[in-house]
Amino acid sequence: MALRELNFTFTPEDPRPFPLGWSHRGVVGSGDMEVMFEQADLGGQVQVKVCTPVVGFDEVWERVLDRCIKESQVSDVSIEINDNNATPVVVAMRMRQAIEEARKEAE
């Protein structure tokens, strides 16, 4: 019933530190989410905290996030997500857009 908090840690193989101090994207509409990236000294790791009303998809969250991290190799960043029933497609799209735009902005 209450909102749930999921925590994950990932270790990218070829770490590319998040280039901005912080970055925020998205709106917590129905089927959508917001995400906050904040630079953090995590020794090449990534910490993710997900706040979600959804029950029963913890493994899906882990796999979706794992793929986003593998794909981007983003590292040394604390990621927080406020989710409102976003499907894996939406999660992946929002993450990808946020990381790519942050990298573009940092150039």
Partner 1 sequence: MTTEPKIWNTLERDYRERLEAARPYVMDGKVVEAGDTVKLLEAVVRPGDKVNIEGDNQKQADFLAQCLCEVDTDKVHDLHMVQSVLSIPAHLDIFDKGIAKKVDFSFSGPQAGRLAEYVRDGKIELGAIHTYLELYGRYFVDLTPRVALCVGVSADKNGNIYTGFNTEDTPVIAEAVKFRQGIVIVQVNEIVDEVPRVDIPGDWVDFVIQAPRPFYIEPLFTRDPALITDSQILRAMMVIKGIYGEYGIQRLNHGIGFDTAAIELLLPTYGEELGLKGKICSYFVTNPHPTLIPAIESGWVKSMHCFGGEAGMAEYVQARSDVFFIGPDGSMRSNRDFAQTAGHYALDLFIGGTLQIDKYGNSSTATASRIAGFGGAPNMGCDAKGRRHATPGWMKCGEEYGMHDELVGDLPRGKRLVVQLQETFREKMAPGFVDKLDAVALAENAGLDLPPVMIYSDDLTHVVTEEGIAYLHKCTSMADRMAAIRAVAGFTEVGMAEDPAETASLRERGIFKTPADLGIDVRRANRDLLAAKSVKDLVNWSGGLYNPPAKFRNW
Partner 2 sequence: MSDWKSLEAKSFYGASARERAIGIVDEGTFTELAGPQNRMSSPHLPVLGEAVEWDDGCVTGVGLIGKHPVFVISQEGRFIGGAVGEVHGAKMVGAFVLARQMYDRIKEEHPDELAERLPAVVISFETGGVRLHEANAGLLAHAEVMDQIQESKGKFPVISLIGSKVGCFGGMGFVAAATDVIVMSDLGRLGLTGPEVIEQEMGKDEFDSADRSLVYRTTGGKHKYIMRDANYLVEDTLGDFHDQLTAIMDAPYDEIVKCRRIGSEELVDEQLALAELSVEMAPKDARDVWAYFGNEDVDQIPEMTTAEFLAVAKRR
- Residues engaged in binding partner 1 (CB under 8 A): 31, 54, 57, 59-60, 63-64, 85, 87-90, 92-93, 96-97, 100-101
Question: How far apart, in whole angstroms, are the C-alpha atoms of residue 106 and residue 23?
Answer: 11
When asked if residue 27 is in the footprint of partner 2 (CB under 8 A), the reply is yes
Least separation, in Å, of the C-beta of 101 and partner 1? 8
90 binds, among partner 1, partner 2, none (CB under 5 to 8 A by kind): partner 1
Strands 32-39 and 77-84: antiparallel
Strand partners, 12: none
Q: What is the DSSP letter of 44?
A: T
